[in-house]
Structure formats: structure tokens, C-alpha cells
């Protein structure tokens, strides 16, 4: 006789199972918990093992019978690229292990207005408690993936990659960057801990590019890749002499970028950055740079419009 896993695993354990490896982090689980607590506990103190959150949904507990089941259909209201469905699944499992979330499309898939993205069924009170935070996650991440895909498509005739930045919503770093990948972009550094990026303030504080690079190498050796930001062609020559792993060309016009590419001649990968838009990204890519970082992917995404239709 088999045992129903929903009666054995805790909501937290079931949430872990729904998350892809890239999002299996305590910070992501805490973010999901907080998104639920915002709706069910004015003090933000709801925890995984405490009272079922749907019991604190004062509208649903008043309007719906305790055993009333509902079916929900998550639907796109506009064209876009979907991302974040595993987060919605994990969130539903936290609210109530009896909720069954089933994606109808793959992460990173292009979808059209009116298309079904996922179904969810189970206890009605729990479903309506999970509805808004689940839509919030999928809508934001799908918005990031959609915008990223537009930038990727705009440079598809070149060899340039589209990179994200650390300009993410505080606390949402991993989900935001996860969405960039599903939009076809690449992640730059995840934080301050996984790459040395020597920017203008570091250079000014150290007394110049050579001294900043020397200190980084003396401190870390080859433990981390080193990228150096430059603003002029003279600074580029200075950085090239030090053979860093990457060079960031900051706010250079296209003609200067072309000169930088010619001077570098493939010795070091070049990243262009600074105020990049959909109107300018193609021209920047055509200069021959290897990558283009775009803060707008995550600092101001337009949420993809979604709805949950209940039956």
C-alpha cells in the first residue's frame, strides 16, 4: 500500500521539490514565505509549520465552505515569454500541500494572449490565498524574460550576448536572473562574491587601473575572474597591458566602441555598458563587442499581464 506523499512531506519540503536547482536556495524559500505572509499576517510572522495561511484569508473563509474545491486556470492576457511557473508551484505547496499545480507550457516558451499557462486545483480557500502572490511572481519573471528576449532578438544577427546586471529588485536577485536566462540572456556576476569587477570608484580609490588590478591579484590570485571598467581608449590600452579576463567599455559611443574592438583584436572579451535601450542595442552589437549588459532587463521590467480564472 503506497503512502500519499502529501501526508508525509512538510509544505516546506514539498516547496523545495518544485524548485529548479537554480532556485533551490533558502533565500528563495524565504521570499516565497514572505510573499504569503504579506497577505495573511500583518506582522509578517507566519511560518511553514504554523496555522494554515488560508485560515487568515478573512474573505475566503467567510465566503467559501471549508471543503469547497476550486479549479484555477492561469492565462496570459498578452503575448510574451513565460518564466516563474516553478515558483508559483512551490508557493501553492506552501499555502496548502493539497493544491495541485500543473504547468501547461515550458519555462522560456513564447506564449500568446489567451494561452493557458498552468492549472491549479484543490481547496478553494487555499487556492484563492495563493492566487495573487503566484500571479505576482509569474508576471514579474515573465516580464523580465519577455524584455530579455526582445533584446536578444535585436542582436541575433551578431555574435553579441545580452547580459544582466545587479540592478534587481532587492531580495529577488536569483529569481530575476533566472528569468533573464529563460529569456535567452546570460547572467553577469550573481553578487559581489563571485567576480572581481574593478569600476571607476575602485580605480580612483586605489590610485589607478594598474594598482587596482595588482591589489586584486595579490589578494585573490586566480580565484576569481577579473573585469576592469574603462571609459576611454587610453584607459583601454592601460587595461589591455594587464591582461584581465574581461574589459567593460562604459558609455562609449558606437564609433569609439569600434575603435576599442579593433585595438583589442580579440585579446580580451569586451563588454559594452551604459544606458543601452532597444533602439540602440543593435548598433552597439554591430561594433563587434562580445557582450552588452542591460540594466533595464531587471531594474524596470513591465509585468506580463496574467489572470487566474476560477471554475
Buried b / exposed e over 64-88, threshold 16 CB at 10 Å, is beeeeebebbbbbeeebbbbbbbbb
Residue 286: count of CB within 10 angstroms of its CB: 15
Looking at 78, 238, 245, 250, which residue is catalytic?
250
Looking at 131, 229, 235, 271, which residue is catalytic?
229
- Reference 183, options 301, 15, 275; nearest CA is 301
Looking at 132, 150, 186, 215, which residue is catalytic?
132
Catalytic-residue membership of 167:
yes
Alpha-carbon span 8 to 28, nearest angstrom: 23
At CB < 8 A and 24+ separation, what contacts does 41-45 make? none
Answer yes or no: are the C-beta atoms of 209 and 239 closer than 8 Å: yes
Alpha-carbon span 226 to 204, nearest angstrom: 17
Catalytic-residue membership of 125:
no
Looking at 199, 263, 267, 309, which residue is catalytic?
199
Alpha-carbon span 115 to 106, nearest angstrom: 13
Catalytic-residue membership of 199:
yes
Looking at 167, 215, 217, 231, which residue is catalytic?
167
Answer yes or no: are the C-beta atoms of 240 and 263 closer than 8 Å: yes
Answer yes or no: are the C-beta atoms of 286 and 156 closer than 8 Å: no
Residues known to be catalytic: 132, 167, 199, 229, 250
Amino acid at each position: 500500500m503506497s503512502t500519499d506523499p502529501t501526508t508525509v512531506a512538510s509544505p516546506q519540503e514539498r516547496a523545495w521539490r518544485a524548485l529548479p536547482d537554480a532556485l533551490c536556495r533558502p533565500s528563495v524559500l524565504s521570499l516565497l514565505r514572505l510573499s504569503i505572509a504579506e497577505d495573511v499576517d500583518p506582522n509578517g510572522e507566519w511560518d511553514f509549520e504554523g496555522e494554515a495561511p488560508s485560515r487568515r484569508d478573512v474573505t475566503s473563509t467567510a465566503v467559501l465552505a471549508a471543503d469547497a474545491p476550486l479549479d484555477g486556470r492561469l492565462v496570459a492576457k498578452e503575448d510574451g515569454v513565460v518564466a516563474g511557473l516553478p515558483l508559483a508551484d512551490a508557493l501553492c505547496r506552501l499555502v496548502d500541500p493539497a493544491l495541485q499545480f500543473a504547468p501547461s507550457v515550458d519555462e522560456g516558451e513564447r506564449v500568446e494572449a489567451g494561452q493557458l499557462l498552468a492549472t491549479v486545483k484543490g481547496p478553494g480557500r487555499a487556492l484563492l490565498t495563493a492566487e495573487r502572490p503566484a500571479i505576482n511572481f509569474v508576471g514579474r519573471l515573465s516580464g523580465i524574460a519577455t524584455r530579455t528576449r526582445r533584446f536578444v532578438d535585436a542582436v541575433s544577427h551578431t555574435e553579441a550576448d545580452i547580459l544582466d546586471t545587479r540592478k534587481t529588485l532587492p531580495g529577488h536577485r536569483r529569481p530575476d536572473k533566472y528569468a533573464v536566462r529563460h529569456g535567452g540572456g546570460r547572467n553577469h556576476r550573481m553578487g559581489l562574491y563571485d567576480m572581481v569587477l574593478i569600476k571607476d570608484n575602485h580605480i580612483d580609490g586605489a590610485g589607478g587601473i594598474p594598482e587596482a588590478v595588482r591589489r586584486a591579484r595579490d589578494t585573490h590570485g586566480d580565484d576569481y575572474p577579473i573585469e576592469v571598467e574603462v571609459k576611454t581608449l587610453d584607459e583601454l590600452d592601460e587595461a589591455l597591458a594587464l591582461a584581465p579576463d574581461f574589459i567593460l567599455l562604459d558609455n562609449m559611443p558606437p564609433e569609439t566602441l569600434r575603435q576599442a574592438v579593433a585595438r583589442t583584436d580579440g585579446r580580451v572579451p569586451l563588454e559594452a555598458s551604459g544606458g543601452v535601450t532597444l533602439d540602440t542595442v543593435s548598433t552597439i552589437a554591430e561594433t563587434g563587442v562580445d557582450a552588452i549588459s542591460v540594466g533595464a532587463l531587471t531594474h524596470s521590467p513591465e509585468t506580463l499581464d496574467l489572470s487566474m480564472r476560477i471554475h
